[in-house]
């Protein structure tokens, strides 16, 4: 068994980790995580095909790889919407996705679904993703340093930045300079996939914890709003001034309710932090 075969198995197992975590942690339908799930599932299937663990014709394997490369940038740009900073920024990324899909369709119309089309498309796509991942990585790293939160997002962007930075080098070696050392290029690819998938998995775990805490905080706030919505102040009779009762059973109940709401808000803030 060669090193490429060993790393092919290891990288397949590593690719399965984020897919399994997204499903187990119920993130498959959460915001833009479906794009990440579909991307890693497709790459995992292609990896298993090339290593012979899924029986498929050479033609199917070839076109599966080409379609994977065509979907790479749109899917990853779609997932990066998760890290948006404002509605305006989200609109820009959506416009970028639409423009890139139009660019892909134009290239495919000219060259067909061929290696030449992939060579033209992959370069700009990798460059776009590296640029956005670098921006999000710097931003969330600063948030971690200052506020000690969003570590999951920082890890996810670090994993994607590392992966696509290395993919850029492999792209130059394999598609541009036509290196004769194809086996070495694949070995580097397997190593990059393994490390980035494991780092991404760690980021997904941390991000799911943050999401769970945010959901608990939202639920607590909803319960508090329901409590206050049900409390109605009785209007005093005409000609009488309202008075604040500090003693007696009603005053104790009011003070108890205020204390309970205070502690609920306090513990919700602790959960969020």
- Position of tokens 């198995």? 9
Q: What was the pLDDT predicted at 264? A: 53
Q: Dump pLDDT digits (tens) for 7-34.
A: 889 999 999 999 999 999 999 999 999 9
Q: What was the pLDDT predicted at 92? A: 93
Identify the band that residue 81 occupies on the pLDDT scale cut at 50, 70 and 90: very high
Identify the band that residue 184 occupies on the pLDDT scale cut at 50, 70 and 90: confident
Identify the band that residue 230 occupies on the pLDDT scale cut at 50, 70 and 90: low
Q: What was the pLDDT predicted at 86? A: 87
Longest pairwise C-alpha distance within the chain: 97
148's tokens = 């000690």
Q: What is the mean pLDDT of residues 121-126?
A: 95
What's the number of CA atoms in the CB half-sphere (13 Å) around residue 202?
A: 12
Domains, the chain, ranges and CATH?
3-213 (1.20.1070)
- Which of 63, 64, 73 lies closest to 124 in space, CA to CA? 73
Q: Which residues have a Cβ under 8 Å from the Cβ of 53 and sit 6 or more positions away?
A: 12
Task: Quote the pTM value.
Answer: 0.80
Q: What is the mean pLDDT of residues 154-161?
A: 96
Q: Phi/psi of residue 188, each to 5°?
A: -60, -40
Q: What was the pLDDT predicted at 237? A: 55
Q: What is the mean pLDDT of residues 206-217?
A: 88
The whole-chain average pLDDT of the chain stands at 85
């Amino acid at each position: 068994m060669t090193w490429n075969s060993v790393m092919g198995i290891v990288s397949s197992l590593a690719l399965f980790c984020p897919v399994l975590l997204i499903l187990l942690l119920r993130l498959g339908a959460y915001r833009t995580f479906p794009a990440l799930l579909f991307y890693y599932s497709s790459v995992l299937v292609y990896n298993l095909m090339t290593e012979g663990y899924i029986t498929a014709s050479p033609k199917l394997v070839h076109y599966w790889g080409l379609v994977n490369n065509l979907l790479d940038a749109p899917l990853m740009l779609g997932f990066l919407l998760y890290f948006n900073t404002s509605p305006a920024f989200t609109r820009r990324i959506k416009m970028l996705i639409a423009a890139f899909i139009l660019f892909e369709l134009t290239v495919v119309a000219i060259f067909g679904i061929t290696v030449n089309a992939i060579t033209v498309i992959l370069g700009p796509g990798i460059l776009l993703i590296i640029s956005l991942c670098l921006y999000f990585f710097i931003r969330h790293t600063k948030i971690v340093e200052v506020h000690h939160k969003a570590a999951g997002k920082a890890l996810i962007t670090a994993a994607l930045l590392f992966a696509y930075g290395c993919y850029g080098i492999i792209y130059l070696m394999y598609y541009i300079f036509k290196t004769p050392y194809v086996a070495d290029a694949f070995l580097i690819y397997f190593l990059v996939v393994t490390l980035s998938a494991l780092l991404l998995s760690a980021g997904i775990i941390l991000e799911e914890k943050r999401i769970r805490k945010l959901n608990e905080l939202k639920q607590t706030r909803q319960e508090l709003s329901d409590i206050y919505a049900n409390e109605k102040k009785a209007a005093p009779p005409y000609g009488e001034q309202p008075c604040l009762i500090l003693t007696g059973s009603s005053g104790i109940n009011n003070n108890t309710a205020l204390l309970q709401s205070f502690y609920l808000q306090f513990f919700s803030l602790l959960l969020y932090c």
